[in-house]
Amino acid sequence: MKYSIKNSSLITLQKEECLVVTVQLGKKQTSLIKDIDESTKGMISQLLKSGDINCELGKTTFLYASPNSPKILVVGCGQAKNFDINAAKKMIQAATKELITKQVKNISWDILTLNPAISGEIAKQLPQITSELTYSFDQFKSTKSEKPSLQKVTLLYSDKKTIKHVESQLSQGQIIANAIVSTKNIANMPSNIGNAKYLAEQGKSLGKQHSSLKVTCLGEKELAKLNMNAYLAVGRGSANESIMTVIEYHGAKDKKAKPYVLVGKGLTFDSGGISIKPSAGMDEMKYDMCGAATVFGVMQAVAELKLPINVVGVMAGCENMPDGNSYRPGDILTTMSGTTVEIINTDAEGRLVLCDALTYVERFQPKTVIDIATLTGACIIALGHHYTGVMGNNAELTEQLVKSSNQAGDKAWSLPIDSDFQEQIKSTCADIVNAAGRDGGTITAACFLSRFTEKYQWAHLDIAGTAWKSGANKGATGRPVAMLIQYLLNQK
């Protein structure tokens, strides 16, 4: 879809198929509404008076002024004084759904003129919302989904002082929307195709598209030389090779400046291993690599945004399957760091893959490290499907991530992580256990990871409740791509 911004004073010259305009509760209306009302001999004011046009937030009315005039979609925005970014999102969703239903192709829209204070935010959110509403994953369907009719959106804006900022925000929004689509496409891939090799191939392809990216893939031989025994143990029962894909971006003037590092859990399928999961819902375990898919999407956006910072993305690809060679409950593993782990549950595998990857990234001397993982069902119990859980060893970093989530409209919530919880991961025969029971399960999983992140500032994002949806609308959400891109934008 194409997006652009034009001066609203040129509305009479617009040749789009449809004009989308907003009305508000009360007698005061925008100058554009007044112009249209005058050109239609009072039609708008008559319909407002009769109640045929509803000014409540998100209510839509389609008008056909004359055969030679553009169609008009009137969208209510409620009280003008209450029109904030959340109201704008609801209005965008309502209008976009109606435009798709009516199979409109090209529109001009005055939404940016409603509240100049948030015009940049609106411009940034609009491509993301329209992309979400028009996305479909039909690669494996015999009959493909119809392509969405809406192809061109022209936003009307007349403030010359701020138009460059708004245009920049619109461009960022498009890049973020594309990154989310890439993340969803990878995450939705079935496990018989989307294995660790597939992740590596996607990483290499991204590297070929952007000269600013350096991609390195480490197979099982390379991982073994690094003593990444915990990582390797998880994939030991699988016929598919474990591969860790490292994507490096050097955008800072100082190419040796400390990078921001992202580590994504890439369990391309998680059966639970010997501690096998119940069969109901196991099909959704293809989404256990959403952390790695998120890293891919963010690195794509970083390259397209040409951020003036250094960033490293790690996709820790692996598959957890039961087999005669699988690791077992009761085994003791020696991690890359030298810490020993007693295996209590082979379904607590993500932290074993991540702990070695988190030790590996020490070599980059990172400024910060953020891991992203569909790690614990306990996070869904704590925060539902609304908030990503945030924990870490640095209060400033966790605060920055929560702030970025609010800016991006990609909700996150900080959970405590302290010494009281560390007691739960003690082992009688090794340094730590890999599973500490149900109580505080999200936090004790983070406590496990914290043992491997003492040499840098680190945060852990548990996306088990936010990375995908179940049921009739089953599919990846692309979260928390927007939050992480916003965090990196804030570091410029």
Say which DSSP state 53 is in.
Answer: S
Identify residue 317 by its one-letter amino acid code. Answer: G
Residue 483 · residue 372 · CB < 8 Å: no
From CA 187, how far away is CA 264, in angstroms rounded?
12
Q: What is the DSSP letter of 276?
A: P
Residues 346 and 327: beta-carbon distance below 8 Å: yes
Q: What does residue 375 show for φ and ψ, rounded to 5 degrees?
A: -95, -45
Q: Which tokens go with 192?
A: 């018989």
The Cα 225–Cα 276 span in angstroms is 29
Indicate the residue type of 279: S
CA distance 488 to 492: 7
277 carries an active-site annotation: yes
Nearest alpha-carbon partner for 390 in 409, 367, 371, 407: 371
Q: How far is CA 129 from CA 1, 60, 94, 95, 145, in A?
A: 12, 17, 11, 11, 19
328 is catalytic: no
Q: How many CB atoms lie within 10 A of CB 426?
A: 12
Instruction: State which H helix or E strand residue 166 sits in.
Output: helix 163-187
Catalytic residue among 71, 277, 367, 469: 277
What's the rounded Cα separation, in Å, for the pair 183 and 186?
5
Q: Tokens 């970014």 appear where?
A: 85
Q: Which residues make Cβ contacts (< 8 Å) with residue 78, sequence separation at least 6?
A: 24, 25, 55, 56, 57, 87
Q: What are phi and psi of 76, to 5 degrees?
A: -75, 140
Helix (DSSP H) and strand (DSSP E) numbers for the chain: 15, 19
- Catalytic: which of 124, 265, 351, 451? 351
- The rounded distance, in Å, linking the Cα atoms of 90 and 419 is 43
Q: Half-sphere exposure (CA, 13 Å, Cβ side) for 408?
A: 30
Give the span between the Cα atoms of 381 and 361, in whole angstroms.
31
Residue 44: phi and psi, rounded to 5, are -65, -50
The first and second tokens of residue 143, run together, are: 């009959």
CA angle 13-15-18, nearest 5°?
120
Task: Output the six-digit token pair for 71.
Answer: 């169609």
Rounded Cα distance between 77 and 407, Å, is: 21
What residues act catalytically?
Answer: 277, 351
